[in-house]
């Protein structure tokens, strides 16, 4: 099997007129799973601006997934509550910004998706590690963390207020 005719990638070939063994991709083709035609879902933007809406319905399952993914990928730097006091800070690395500062509380939700996708400042991109749906779930969970930080009793539904001690 070792001594059989085959093409080694990026080696010259006498079979094809252009002398390349690697064939060019057919124009207009898209690899399976790589068709990202939904601008909002895959860029976090609408007409080039950070989105203010989510591309899917945010329910309890999305929030649970967002919390799980946040705790795995984000809490080492940002801490479990988003204060920027994760384990890396305790190890001497630079402190990331708190998710609760006004600049980030007022940022469109698409901003968080974009930063997770492309990185920003010292934060690397996580596009290869976290799929797009999970990045949106994390963004939803970040919004919940931000809301919880500044919540008042009036924000709790009247039927649930008796459960608060």
Element at 50 (helix H, strand E): strand 49-50
- CA 160, CA 150: separation in Å to the nearest integer? 18
Scored b (16 or more CB within 10 A) or e, 32-63 reads eeeeeeeebbbbbbeeeebbeebbeebeeebe
Q: Would you say residue 2 has pLDDT above 80?
A: no
What local confidence, expressed as pLDDT, does residue 165 receive? 66
Asked whether residue 19 carries a pLDDT value surpassing 80, the answer given is yes
Percent of the chain with pLDDT over 70: 99
Q: Provide the residue ranges of all domains of the chain, joining segments of one domain with +.
A: 39-150
152, pLDDT greater than 90: no
Q: What's the pTM?
A: 0.79
Q: pLDDT at residue 4 above 90? A: no
What is the CATH number assigned to the segment(s) 39-150? 1.10.760.10
Question: 30-70, pLDDT tens digit by residue?
Answer: 888 788 889 999 999 999 999 999 999 999 999 999 999 99
């Amino acid at each position: 099997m070792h001594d059989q005719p085959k093409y080694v990638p990026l080696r010259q070939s006498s079979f094809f007129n252009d002398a390349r063994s690697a064939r060019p991709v057919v124009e207009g083709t898209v690899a399976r799973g790589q068709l990202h035609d939904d601008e909002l879902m895959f860029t976090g933007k609408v007409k080039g601006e950070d989105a203010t809406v989510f591309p899917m319905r945010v329910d309890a399952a999305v929030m649970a997934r967002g919390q799980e993914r946040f705790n795995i990928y984000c809490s080492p730097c940002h801490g479990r509550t988003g204060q920027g006091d994760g384990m890396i800070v305790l190890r001497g690395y630079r402190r990331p910004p708190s998710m609760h500062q006004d600049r980030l509380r007022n940022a469109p939700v698409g901003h968080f998706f974009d930063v997770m996708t492309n990185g920003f400042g010292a934060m690397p991109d996580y596009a290869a590690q976290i799929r797009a749906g999970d990045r949106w779930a994390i963004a939803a969970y970040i919004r919940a963390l931000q809301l919880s930080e500044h919540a008042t009793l009036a924000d709790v539904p009247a039927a649930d207020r008796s459960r608060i001690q």
